[in-house]
Structure 1
Amino acid sequence: MLKKLLFLLVLCSTTLYGQDYFFQKFHPFNKEIPSPEEFLGYGIGERHTRHDLIVAYMEKLAEVSDRASIYQYGKTHEGRKLVILTISTPENLTNLNSLKQKHLAFTDPSLNATNYSDVPVFINLAYNVHGNEPSSSEAALLTAYTLVASNSPEIIKYIKNAVIFVDPTINPDGRDRHTQWANMYQGNPLVADPQDSEHNEGWPRGRTNHYWFDLNRDWLLAINPESRGKLTWYHEWYPNVVTDFHEMGSQSTYFFEPMKVNGSLNPIMPKENYEDLNNLFGDYYAKALDSIGSFYFTKEVFDGTYPGYGSSYPDLQGGLGLLFEQASSRGHKQTTAFGEITFPFTIRNQYTSGITTIKAAVENKEFLYKYQQEFFKSALTNATSSKIKGYEFGDNYDANRVKAFIDKLLLHKIDVYKSGNSFVVPTKQPQYRMVQTMFETYNKYRDSVYYDASAWSVANFYNMKYKTVSSLKMGEKIESTNNLVTVAPVQKSEYAYILDWDDYNTPAALYQLQSKGLVLSSAFKPLTVQINGASKTFNYGSLLVPVSLQKKSPEEIYKLLSDVQNKYKIPVFGLNTGYNVKGVDLGSRYVQPITKPKAAMLIGEGVSSYEAGEVWHLLDIRMDIPITKIPMRNFNRANFDKYNALVMVSGRYSLTQNQQKKISDWVKKGNTLVTIGSATKWAIDKKLVKEALTKEEKDSTIVAVRKPYVEAEENIGKESVGGIILKAHIDNTHPLAFGYHDKTVPLYKNNEVWLAPSKNEYATVIKYTDNPHVDGFITNKNMDKFLKPSASLIVSPIGRGRVILFADNPNFRGSWYGTNRLFLNALFLGDKIRVPN
């Protein structure tokens, strides 16, 4: 018994010392406040902490301390809470609404507040946007405890002069996926071998959220509930400083800002942000990390050019976004070239940087407030000096796509007005820089290597027709999209109905009607019909519902059509005759019944989880269409005959000849294979189709010019296509292009898949224009030798079936509303494509 007691005492003292590894300098702590170790039953760094326990601890702090309150700003796809713990002095929290109004006065250009030193600085410590970069959420627990429980003069000073918002886990779904993996494979004793399963997480890994989206690219695009909830919160508070904690490869050290030079020639954020503020805070981090013996680097990588990161979006809101990258232990302990890196070590660096951020912000709050104030004032000044006074946009054929774009503008607090049949966004508004982000395009750059995208003009994502205006005609201000789309109720018919295929939501309505047993047909030529005595023309692909040919009664059919119209807000019209004013009649051979899609997609090791998630999300969330996700490990026993469409997104496919034959034989039966990006290259390389890639003709007489070795990484890097927007010709008579009216369409390219136009004169659906550049960086070599001669979308026949080859991803980041239709057409209309062999 004595031996057991001695053992427990040793264990307790060891554990206490272990936790003091993080925050020894901040004693004394309030003993009434439970530490993370006391609450969890283990020391921080000994295990990976589940998100529900993280939330429970934050709720406990709010319960037992008058320094903290908790707020839930949303839920994830899987139903996990998204919370923020607000920490300050009891007095500040009691007067938080008043302090908030004083703080927001600095974001209002019409006010001239000067009480910079009287208002606490507002700081958002945000953690774990990538779920398998877990050290920061553990640091969030330590930071919250320190701020709530420490009675050291330093901490008291911080909470008196700051309101600190701790967002402990931005991506709970991904974090828990990784947490389960790391804890499941944790050894005792710990295994540091990098080849151990603990350090090699399985597909799709925990970086992403439920639908496998990278949430650190979603601040601008705001596709997911995690981002939308956080943006709504953000625009309520406008914090002065926002942290963005990450992890990187184990063989590195630690990164903090300043970043690499911004890639834009004239960044829309003020230079004081990326020059003065970053350097100012960088000095603080260097001293803090020096004091604990940690090594680090700055400026080499991680540019903040793209405005959709957690470390760059705040820069466009008058705040300072700060990126941190910690070399990851990828588990609890791992051997590296520098020795062993441990989970507690990674947590301590993140914890130190979080506390240091508060210190720097508090000691420079007057500077931060003056900067924030000037940021919003300069927005109006810059807008006034510009010749462009606004942007007018709209689409006469697709109200729901317009609605989705306006929803994005409103989420970012951009003012939008109705202007006749169009909409207008004035440039003179506090969110002028976000207006620039949405509409402006660029063709000059000061750097050629980007950490991510070099193009993001969001209007092009939506294929939104827009133009600059030098004078404004503004009508009603749009406050909400709730009633933005109105459609005339469908009139009951005993003969037939027609649905406009141009609307973004019509594919979802089609699937629902098919699922209810209706048979719909697609018009492969335009037609003009009489509706209420007036002529109305319908585009390629319009859907027809012949009443007498259905197995349901006219009343049941009318009810189904009324229901889908109410749900999806799409145009539906009743017809009384099959004889049309112009174009094909309803009984034409150009009106063909549509087969209900039964889609499957290959997923698993080697497959891009990003692109797979984008397909899954599009069909799940927007189209209400199920898709079967077949793991690569189940390929051999999968019965493909259950499906009429198979999707292969980008990836590294290592299929055997027998497996390739299984796909080929299935397509030949009359089915549709859809390939995207590198899967298209795979299909060509494996001779699944008789198509080719655009290749550079090599000149053997050219001798390589010697270059300095130190420049190799940059020179090679700029040849990759990180993300550009291009203009392409589209054959809108082709079934894959049904729903498009214009002869050109903007596309997004972020790969080096150069698809040669088909030798079949009817098979190339989309080809880049002679002058394709819209936005983003691409080298002259890639532009002239590869891009301009290439196609973006072709169809290649195999037996009675076909392969639809996308060079570019039509569903990129869930945001390309303008090209989603191409992919949906492939699923619904692929089997109707007749391309001669």
Structure 2
Amino acid sequence: MLGVDLILNTMRKCVLLSLAACLLSFWAPAQSYFFPEGERFNPNIQSPEEFLGYPIGEFHTRYDRVHAYFQYLAEASPYARLEIIGYTHERRPQLVLYVSENTEESRLEDIRQRHLLLTRPNQAMPDLSSMPAILNLAFSVHGNEPSTTEAAILSAYWLVAAEGELAQRVRQEALVLIDPAINPDGRDRHSHWANMHRAFPPVADPLDREHNEVWPGGRSNHYWFDLNRDWLPLTQVELQHKMAWYHRWYPNVVGDFHEMGTNSTYFFEPTKPFSSENPVVPRKNYEEVTQRFVPYFAKNLDAIGSLYWTKEVFDNSYPGYGSTYPDIQGGLGLVFEQGSSRGHVQDSQRGPITFAFTIRNQFRTALATLEAGVEAREFMHRYLREFFQTAEQEAASSPTKAYVFGDPADASKNRLFLNLLLAHQIQVIENQSTINQEGQRFEAGKSWLVPTRQPQYRMVRSIFERVTEFADSVFYDASAWNMALAYDMPTAALRQNPGGTPLVEIPSPQLQQPDTRPAVGYLIAWEDYFAPKLLQRLQRAGVYVEASGASFTSETHLGERSFGPGTLLIPMGFQQLPLEQVEALVLREAQSLSQQVYAVSSGLSKQGIDLGSNQVTAIRQPKALMLVGAGVTSTEAGEIWHLLDTKLEMSLTKVDVERFGRVNLHQYNTLILASGDYSAIGEHGLTHLKDWLSRGGVLIAVKSANQWLSRAGITPLKNLEEVPMAAPADEVGFGNRRDYYGAQSIGGSMYATRLDLSHPLAYGYTRENLPVYRNSSIFFAPVADPFQNPVRYREQPLLAGYVSARNLAQIPKAMSVSVSKLGSGTVVHFIDNPNFRGTWFGTNRLFFNALYFGDRM
């Protein structure tokens, strides 16, 4: 009997395995499914299926296997060369595969140098007849849009191994640059999720766990940033590496491949005319260049019976997109969006959509991009030259001949801003004479000039211009991106360019640190952006540090100097560590962070408070916890994590909201709530939170977290009385309802506020004018205590971007930042996000001050 049972079980297993094999063959079709009919391949080059051990579409390919296959192609074929352009936060390599008829290093460098001549209008036009098109296929900037990287694998194989006429022509007439994944960290996070939950056969039900990633999902990178918003601010290493690489090549065409909702078909450009277009990009880009490519996309998708759409939505205005930035660099950026299977197969309104189906559509539009790019090769080269010629011509006719900028109190922020400008290849000149302009003083040696007449004129406009008039009132994303405002950088437009020598590298600060010698104490100004990082290092090392709550003037080793509120004092008479160790540590860490240390030999001040005043008190070292997980906006939580990690080097404990009941808050002195709803902490958690606050805790709440605090009865915040929305005009029909309601939202714009410089949240600021970023319609009235509304909007607040008249009337009545006292505790209410996308260096200091001085409010 045992022998019979064994035979029957074996037979059952064989039947099941055969059934599984049949199902797999249905969901993951053979290689011929993806490629044009009759395509032939070099038999000496392994296909993706042969190399990986499964058909494309059967699994989500791990990034290490993508890397291995690209490495294999580079070794197996003279047509391919692989470069690592950098590493992600999680140390995954960022890859670019170069594919052409000849990829010898010397040949590639010759191609690059000749191509760069097109971006230099003052140099002779090179011979275009033999210059290859530079075509960049960029995939998976969003990690959970997985069809893109699989299409990259197929594209690389086709380019290297296909023997058909088109493949040969592309290799001869183009240099193709393939990014298989701009976001490898997010890609692997999603791949692991999808593969881990893959069923055999796959489950198409949208409710299945495979199709619903847990928080934060794979869209974002390690720090939960959306990398497709980072091409302008360059806060993340992935885009910093990509930008350095981009300006080595200036591709003629960049294909930017994405996914969208499962019930959608396929989108390719053009985007919505006028309203979604960037104001600095020449009309020719939209009206002629893009239109040359459209028939190729349609032809390739028509050939396989795939439906598509154009023009209706999607945004090409914000310069931080991977499909917009190339448009401001003389190329053509093309966004592609494929309805996603979000797993291996998922039901949609048109029936099951398979992973393989989504991959095929992406691959076919990649082929279309290559075909069109080759056909338009000389046209695109001429357009690149024309783009930079017209940039200088437009600059010549502009009344603004230069921008002057510089913060006299914050050398580190100046260097950060200079680094951004140079990363975008913007020419900068050190200012050699003092300039008084627009009520501001820009001193020689502490300010810089950006001439407008330069090849990057359009990027100069993007970073410095304040735009408040638009063709439309509905925005997919931000309507303002002025980086000078984001940095709270004093700037002024000049009617003439004083000229000077272009800056090649950012100058190192000239510090005059005191000799190691006995001193009453050491002073460090709080105005510099990296003073908080120095404080964090000193406290972590065991140095006792105090801070001033008022201004004073002291005699220092560099002479008499005035110091503002927030100034750090290291009193040598109260240190637990040996004084020699403290002195050495302070000077070493200050030097490494470019912070000037001032030695004082007396606690008696020349003016203002003395160093032993009751207004000079110990700084509490923050021990911070942030709630994360379901209900919390992951990108905004990521901004806080990134800020504390990279700008403060401060350890941050991240706890899922659902685990809050296990947290003893009394082990922490600071709780951070990013935008979100925290109702999941329950009644017990709410009681614990209130008790912790009443005993002296500091709670920092951002945007919608304040709404939850108000609803939960923790804080006394009150909503402004809502202004009714005006009834639509009779001619506004049903078809326009989306635009009508969309115009009432605040997608992202910049506003002027007045800062109370005496408030602890304002320590380190020297100007009461502070730009802030708002991308919500959350309006809270000022708190009852008039001294706890430190950041208030100006009467005429709009600086840049779009806002409806209804919202603009509300903003001056509302608060940007308020403070509530609850027992011995403090709640700091950031109604506007001070850390937006890691770019708002101007308002980051508010957050730093909430961390270090929250108990002083």
Preserved contact between residue 383 and residue 389 of structure 1 (Cα < 8 Å): yes
Q: Which residue of 1 aligns with 2:45?
A: 33
Cα distance change on mapping 1:664 and 1:525 into 2, 3 Å: same
What is the CA deviation profile of residues 562-582 of structure 1, one whole-angstrom value per residue up to 9, with x for unaligned ones?
A: 121122111211100011111
2:734 and 2:28 mapped to 1: Cα distance? 50
Question: Does residue 827 of the first structure (1) align with residue 827 of the second (2)?
Answer: no
Q: Distance in 2 between matches of 1:138 and 1:19?
A: 13
Taking a change above 3 Å as real, the CA distance of residues 305 and 558 of structure 1, as seen in their structure-2 partners, is same
Q: For residues 719 and 698 of structure 1, what CA distance do their matches in structure 2 show?
A: 11
Alignment pair present for 1:232 and 2:244: yes
How far off its partner does 1:592 sit?
Answer: 1.2
Larger mean Cα displacement after TM superposition, 819-828 or 706-715: 706-715
Equivalent residue for 1:442, pick from 467, 472, 485: 467
| Equivalent in 758, 761, 784 of residue 759 of structure 1 | 784
Compared CA separation, residues 816 and 308, structure 1 to 2 (3 A): same
Distance across 2 between alignment mates of 1:374 and 1:650? 45
Q: Which amino acid aligns with 1:111?
A: Q
Q: 2:534 aligns with which of 509, 526, 533?
A: 509
Find the aligned partners of 2:694 and 2:775 in 1 and give their Cα distance: 31
- Aligned partners of 1:265 and 1:445 also within 8 Å: no
Q: Deviations over 1:53-73 (max 9, x none)?
A: 001100000000000000000
Cα pair 1:418 1:474 within 8 Å, conserved: no
Distance 1:544 1:13, change over 3 A: closer
Pairing 1:809–2:809 present? no
Q: Does 1:345 align with 2:357?
A: yes
Residue in structure 1 matched with residue 672 of structure 2 by the alignment: 647
Counterpart Cα distance in 1 of 2:581 and 2:141: 48
Instruction: Give the Å deviation of 1:274.
Output: 1.6
The Cα of 1:397 is off from its aligned counterpart by: 0.7
Are residues 704 and 267 of structure 1, via their aligned partners in 2, closer, same or farther at CA, if it must alter by over 3 Å? closer
Matches within 5 A, 1:775-786: 775-784=800-809, 786=810
Deviation at 1:301, TM superposition (A): 0.7
Question: Match of 2:100?
Answer: 88
Give unmatched runs, 5+ long, in structure 2.
1-6, 432-443
Match of 2:82 in 1: 70
* Aligned position for 1:260: 272
Once the two structures are TM-superposed, the CA of residue 589 in structure 1 deviates from its matched residue by 1.0
Structure 2 vs 1, CA of residues 209 and 429 (structure 1 numbering), >3 Å: closer, same or farther? Answer: same
Aligned to 1:727: 752
Give the match for residue 435 of structure 2: none
CA distance, structure 2, for counterparts of residue 265 and residue 47 of structure 1: 37
Name the SS for the 2:787 alignment partner.
coil
Write the distance in 2 (CA, Å) between the matches of 1:698 and 1:262. 30
1:174-224 per-residue CA deviation (whole Å, 9 max, x = no partner) reads 000000000000011110000000000000100000000000000111111
Contact 1:261 1:447 in 2 (8 A): no
Q: How far apart in 1 are the matches of 2:827 and 2:28? A: 63
Q: Secondary structure at the match of 1:468?
A: strand
Query: Structure 2: how far apart are the matches of 1:111 and 1:572?
Result: 49
Deviation at 1:534, TM superposition (A): 2.9
Q: Determine the C-alpha separation between the residues in 1 that align with 2:18 and 2:342.
A: 31
Tell me, yes or no, if structure 1 residue 398 matches structure 2 residue 410. Answer: yes
Question: How far does residue 732 in structure 1 lie from its aligned partner after superposition?
Answer: 1.0
**CA–CA separation in structure 2 for the residues paired with 1:760 and 1:788:** 18
Q: What RMSD in Å do the two structures reach over aligned CA positions?
A: 2.1
> What's the CA shift for 1:106?
1.1
Which SS does the other structure have where 1:788 is aligned? helix
Change (3 A) 1:698 1:126: closer
Which residue of structure 1 lines up, in the alignment, with residue 822 of structure 2?
A: 798
1:665-693 per-position Cα deviation (integer Å, ceiling 9, x unaligned): 11111010000010012112222111212
| Residue of structure 2 equivalent to 1:413 | 425
Following superposition, the deviation at residue 14 of structure 1 comes to 8.3
Q: Distance in 1 between matches of 2:806 and 2:381?
A: 46
Shift of 1:477: 2.7
Is 1:214 the counterpart of 2:226? The answer is yes
Q: 1:494 offset after TM fit, Å?
A: 2.5
Amino acid corresponding to residue 329 of structure 1 in structure 2: S
Provide the residue aligned with 1:322 in structure 2.
Answer: 334
Contact residue 28 and residue 356 of structure 2 kept, 8 A: no
Query: Residue 712 of structure 2 aligns with which residue?
Result: 686
How far apart in 2 are the matches of 1:616 and 1:416? Answer: 32
* Native 8 Å contact 2:564 2:764 kept in 1: yes
Q: Which residue of 1 aligns with 2:440?
A: none
1:116-163 per-residue CA deviation (whole Å, 9 max, x = no partner) reads: 232110000000000000001000000000000011111101111100
Q: Could you list the per-position Cα deviations for residues 363-385 of structure 1 after superposition, in whole angstroms to 9, with x for gaps in the alignment?
A: 01111111100000111111111
Which aligned pairs between 1:50-65 and structure 2 lie closer than 5 A? 50-65=62-77
For residues 744-785 of structure 1, the C-alpha deviation after alignment (integer angstroms, 9 at most, x for no partner) is 10001111111211111111010100011100000000000x
The aligned amino acid for 1:779 is S
CA contact (8 A) 1:241 1:319 kept: yes
- Report 1:597-746 matches (<5 A): 597-655=622-680, 656-696=682-722, 706=730, 707-746=732-771
Query: Is 1:423 aligned with 2:451?
Result: no
Please give the residue correspondences for 1:501-540 in structure 2 after superposition, counting only pairs within 5 Å: 501-532=526-557, 534-540=559-565
The structural deviation recorded for 1:658 is 2.5
Equivalent position of 2:572 in the other structure: 547
> How far apart are 1:704 and its partner, in Å?
7.1
| Equivalent pair of 2:276/2:316 in contact (CA under 8 Å) | no
Say whether residues 1:468 and 2:493 are aligned partners: yes
Q: CA deviation at 1:93?
A: 6.8
Matched residues in 1 for 2:27 and 2:558: separation? 84
Query: Would the alpha carbon gap of residues 471 and 637 (structure 1) be closer, same or farther in structure 2, given more than 3 Å must change?
Result: same
Give the aligned residue type for 1:644.
N
Task: Report deviation, 1:13.
Answer: 9.3
The AA in structure 1 aligned to 2:463 is: M
- State the distance in 2 between where 1:703 and 1:104 align: 54
> Could you tell me which amino acid in structure 2 is paired with residue 633 of structure 1?
E
- Give the counterpart of 1:772 among 770, 779, 797: 797
- Are 1:190 and 2:202 an aligned pair? yes
Supply the AA of the counterpart residue of 1:74. G
Whether the 8 Å CA contact 1:265–1:446 is kept in 2: the answer is no
- Asked if 2 retains the 8 angstrom alpha-carbon contact of 1:78 and 1:210, the reply is yes
Candidates 311, 316, 333, aligned match of 1:299: 311
Q: Displacement of 1:488 after TM fit?
A: 1.6
Secondary structure in structure 2 of the residue aligned to 1:90: coil
> Normalising by structure 2, what TM-score?
0.94
| Of 131, 143, 155, the match for 2:155 | 143
Q: 2:612 & 2:381 partners in 1: Cα distance?
A: 69
Structure 1 letter corresponding to 2:847: F
The one-letter amino acid paired with 2:757 is: N
Q: 1:115 to 1:582 in 2, by over 3 A?
A: same
Instruction: State the AA in 1 paired with 2:221.
Output: N
Structure 1, 653-662 or 511-520: larger mean CA deviation: 653-662
CA positional deviation for 1:24? 4.2
- How far apart are the structure 2 equivalents of 1:712 and 1:13? 45
Alpha-carbon distance between aligned partners in 1 of 2:514 and 2:228, rounded to the nearest angstrom: 43
Cα 1:17–1:692, aligned 2, differ >3 Å: closer, same or farther? closer
2:476 to 441, 447, 451: 451
Partner of 1:487: 511
